[in-house]
Amino acid sequence: DTEVTQTPKHLVMGMTNKKSLKCEQHMGHRAMYWYKQKAKKPPELMFVYSYEKLSINESVPSRFSPECPNSSLLNLHLHALQPEDSALYLCASSQDSAANTEAFFGQGTRLTVV
């Protein structure tokens, strides 16, 4: 199994809603990542979890709250988002956070904030 599974594939939410994005991998990877990709732009790193601990937060607003319940799961809790937060949210995992390991990406969640 070399898959990173993200759910849901599409999400439309209002600015007052609370929702969560989910990411799962069963490759035994110990590093997991959230990236944000705006239309026609490259992915930008949001968070890195290494061994279930948050190791990097790239100055992301607090309306995005990551959670890593165990080594296979990564969530991104969303609250009070703005329309400009609409984007493709990509989850990735790698064997660990050392630089010489390949990152495997999920298919992303297309988020629209209305």
Question: Of the candidates 13, 27, 45, 80, which one interacts with other proteins according to CB under 8 A?
Answer: 45
Kindly state the smallest distance separating residue 66's Cβ from other proteins, in Å: 15
Indicate the length of the chain as a whole number. 114
Residue 2 contacts other proteins per CB under 8 A? no
Residue 108 contacts other proteins per CB under 8 A? yes
Q: Which of 66, 64, 48, 45 is closest to 56 using CA atoms?
A: 48
Ordered DSSP codes for 91-109: EEEESSSSTTSPPEE---E
Q: Applying CB under 8 A, which part among 16-24, 37-45, 63-71, 75-83 lies near other proteins?
A: 37-45
Kindly state the smallest distance separating residue 105's Cβ from other proteins, in Å: 4
For residue 114, count CB atoms less than 10 angstroms from its CB and return exposed for 0-12, middle for 13-18, buried for 19 or more: exposed
Question: Of the candidates 17, 72, 86, 101, which one interacts with other proteins according to CB under 8 A?
Answer: 101
Asked if 60 and 71 touch (Cβ cutoff 8 Å), the reply is: no
Q: Interface residues with other proteins (CB under 8 A)?
A: 31, 33, 40-45, 48, 50, 55-56, 88, 90, 92, 94, 97-108, 110
